[in-house]
Amino acid sequence: MPQSLARVILHTVFSTKDRFPFLQNPAFRAEVHAYLGGCAKSLDCLPIQIGGVSDHVHLLTTLPRTLTIADFLKEVKRVSTNWIHERGAEWTKFHWQAGYGVFSVSESNVATVMHYIENQEEHHRVTTFQDEYRALLKKHGIAWDETYVWD
């Protein structure tokens, strides 16, 4: 019997709309990260590491062969936004940015990316989200337009 097998690992990065620090409270941020992991898991995407800081998140997950990247992110953002809105009237203005960055990760680099995500607080003491994102785009050979990349 033929089988179709895959192990695709993604490092996904996206921010809050306008990089507003909605995730400033560490306890709330941890809840959001856990919820994002649950969203990924519900889509058969194994959450390997979820992290970030007050204005953006990093997801290191697998992607099943039956789901597109666009559908994965559309659903994770939609469900998590709805969950945050349900927390009360003060959260109704919360939104994720429209765009995102997704980068492939080889099995041999999973531990390195996990460590990178775990150390976001320390990393962002000296690097802005925009500089971090530009560096990731450069590292992966992705061209971008500054006019649109921050939407």
Expressed as residue numbers, the domain containing 13 is: 8-140
> How high is the pLDDT of residue 1?
59
Is residue 148 in some structural domain? no
Is residue 122 in some structural domain? yes
Domains of the chain: total? 1
Quick: pLDDT tens for 22-55.
999 999 999 999 999 999 999 999 999 999 999 9
Quick: pLDDT tens for 60-89.
999 999 999 999 999 999 999 999 999 999
| Tokens representing residue 94 in the block | 């919360």
CATH code at position 60: 3.30.70.1290
What letter would DSSP give residue 26?
Answer: H
Q: Is the pLDDT of residue 151 over 80?
A: no
pTM as predicted: 0.94
Is residue 146 in some structural domain? no
Quick: pLDDT tens for 87-143.
999 999 999 999 999 999 999 999 999 999 999 999 999 999 999 999 999 999 999
The secondary element (H helix, E strand) that includes residue 123 is helix 120-123
| Alpha carbon separation from 138 to 17, 54, 81, 133 (Å, rounded) | 23, 24, 29, 9
Is residue 55 in some structural domain? yes
